[in-house]
């Protein structure tokens, strides 16, 4: 099944063309790597997919539904890990997750259980009652990921989730992404590290200056680069 189908997406910021007729398909159960240099349009594209920025033209279908007509419905099944960490630094991790879980209608014991499971999943259970303001960059990133996972989205969108963190947290995040895929979550993983794409993704889309310049399996792309 197709999880997302974006066609002919155009997005301008003033005179600048951030997305220039971009097509993107995400298949159920895959880790799709979205690769590209700074300013390529990756964040704009995933924000369009998540319904956070409006597009100038094109069409977006998610879970087989038209995004314009079914945005709220679609958002229930999407988790977005933003590039800039979006957590409450003065609230302990469990309170952060209670806030984000609450937005999705979780409450009572179901919410409590989900918070404990999610903190364990990202490897922060022993820090559940500590203030994130004192966390390392890697721990904050893991909490940021937990906030996007607490409602168990079917599609998880991750915007450069390993930028500026220690290798241990980085490995933990990469392993969590693989585990989520094993559990059936579809993942769109944005990065500018080729080695992360090689380690994780079944398919890759390369974006540059608002254009898709290549796509295929990692092996396809490596072969393509070798023959050029
Ligand atoms: P990065 O790896 O640096 O996050 P990116 O591939 O995610 O880059 P975008 O952030 O989507 O790229 O930016 C694409 C283009 O659109 C860039 O030229 C950027 O300067 C421009 N842009 C992005 N957001 C805005 C905005 N809110 N207003 C004006 N221009 C913007």
What would the pLDDT profile of 195-214 be if each residue is shown by its tens digit? 899 999 999 999 999 999 99
Q: If you take atom 28 of ligand 1, which residue's CA is the nearest one?
A: 13
201, 32 contact by CB (below 8 A): yes
Q: If you take atom 11 of ligand 1, which residue's CA is the nearest one?
A: 41
pLDDT, position 10:
98
Low-confidence ranges of the chain (pLDDT < 70): 224-228
For residue 43, report the distance from its CA to the centre of ligand 1, in Å.
7
Ligand 1 pocket member 159 (CB < 6 A):
no
Straight-line distance from the first to the last Cα atom of the chain, in angstroms, rounded to the nearest whole number: 33
* Residue 15 DSSP class: T
Q: Can you tell me whether residue 22 is helix, strand or coil?
A: strand
- What pLDDT digit, counting tens, does each position of 2-44 carry? 999 999 999 999 999 999 999 999 999 999 999 998 899 999 9
Ligand 1 pocket member 98 (CB < 6 A):
no
Query: Helices 108-121 and 137-149: crossing angle, nearest 10°?
Result: 140
Ligand 1 pocket member 215 (CB < 6 A):
no
For residue 11, report the distance from its CA to the centre of ligand 1, in Å.
11
pLDDT, position 193:
86
Ligand 1 pocket member 191 (CB < 6 A):
no
Instruction: Give the strand pairing for 31-35 and 57-62.
Output: unpaired
Q: Can you tell me whether residue 135 is helix, strand or coil?
A: coil
The pTM is what? Answer: 0.93
């Amino acid at each position: 099944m197709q999880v997302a189908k974006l066609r002919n997406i155009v997005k301008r910021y003033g005179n600048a063309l951030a997305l220039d007729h971009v097509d993107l398909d995400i298949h159920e159960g895959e880790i799709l790597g979205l690769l590209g240099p700074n300013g390529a349009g990756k964040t704009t594209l995933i924000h369009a997919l998540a319904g956070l920025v409006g597009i100038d033209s094109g069409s977006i279908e998610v879970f087989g539904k038209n995004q314009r007509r079914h945005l709220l419905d679609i958002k229930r099944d999407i988790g977005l890990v933003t590039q800039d960490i979006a957590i409450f630094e003065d609230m302990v991790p469990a309170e952060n997750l209670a806030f984000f879980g609450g937005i999705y209608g979780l409450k009572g014991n179901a919410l409590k259980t989900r918070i404990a499971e999610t903190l364990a999943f990202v490897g922060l259970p022993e820090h559940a009652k500590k203030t994130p303001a004192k966390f390392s960059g890697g721990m904050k990133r893991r909490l940021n990921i937990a906030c996007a996972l607490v409602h168990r989205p079917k599609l998880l969108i991750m915007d450069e989730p390993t930028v500026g963190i220690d290798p241990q947290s980085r490995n933990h995040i990469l392993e969590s992404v693989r585990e989520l895929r094993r559990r059936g979550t579809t993942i769109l993983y944005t990065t500018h590290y080729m080695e992360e794409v090689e380690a994780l993704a079944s398919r890759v889309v390369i974006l540059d200056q608002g254009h898709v310049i290549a796509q295929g399996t990692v092996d396809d792309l490596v072969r393509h680069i070798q023959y050029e």
